[in-house]
């Protein structure tokens, strides 16, 4: 019985720790304001100076229809996920030399967590998952 109680306690602790590391979607939405000049997201999003970001999680770099990517992005071999995004957004030109993205980057880890939480909630159709 003690073993069962310990196991349940460990599961609760693990679930709580996982939730604590997840980003804050509202804070990510606020952080996304830095991106709005170049990128759109959500229903009806269109390409701007940068591609629309719907369905970014799992998308191959350089594949949004109608957007003219640099060869660097088209040939980067990146499939976007949380780790790739966080590395890229810290310093886009270091991650993909030759990218057209003229952005200094976001170095703050909490902000990148929040931004990913916001962006990754949108499916390819622009609807929240």
pLDDT one-digit tens code per residue, 49-83: 999 999 999 999 999 999 999 999 999 999 999 99
Count CB neighbours of 87 within 10 A. 14
pLDDT for the residue numbered 48:
98
Please determine, looking at this structure, whether the domain spanning 23-119 carries the CATH number 2.40.50.140.
Answer: no
Tokens in use for 97? 């030399």
Which segments of the chain have a pLDDT < 70?
1-21
CA distance 77 to 87: 14
pLDDT for the residue numbered 22:
80
pLDDT for the residue numbered 26:
98
Would you list the domain boundaries of the chain? 23-119
pLDDT for the residue numbered 85:
98
Q: CB of 30 within 8 A of CB of 108?
A: no
CA distance 42 to 128: 8
């Amino acid at each position: 019985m003690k073993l069962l109680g310990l196991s349940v306690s460990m599961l609760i602790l693990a679930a709580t720790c996982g939730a604590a590391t997840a980003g804050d979607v509202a804070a990510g939405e606020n952080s996304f304001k830095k991106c709005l000049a170049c990128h759109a997201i959500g229903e009806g999003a269109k390409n701007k100076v940068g591609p629309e970001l719907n369905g970014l999680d799992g998308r191959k770099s350089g594949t949004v229809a109608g957007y003219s990517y640099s060869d660097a992005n088209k040939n980067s071999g990146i499939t976007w996920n949380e780790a790739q995004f966080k590395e890229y957004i810290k310093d886009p030109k270091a991650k993909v030399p030759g990218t057209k993205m003229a952005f200094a980057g976001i170095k703050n880890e909490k902000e990148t967590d929040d931004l990913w939480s916001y962006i990754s909630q949108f499916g390819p159709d622009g609807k929240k998952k």
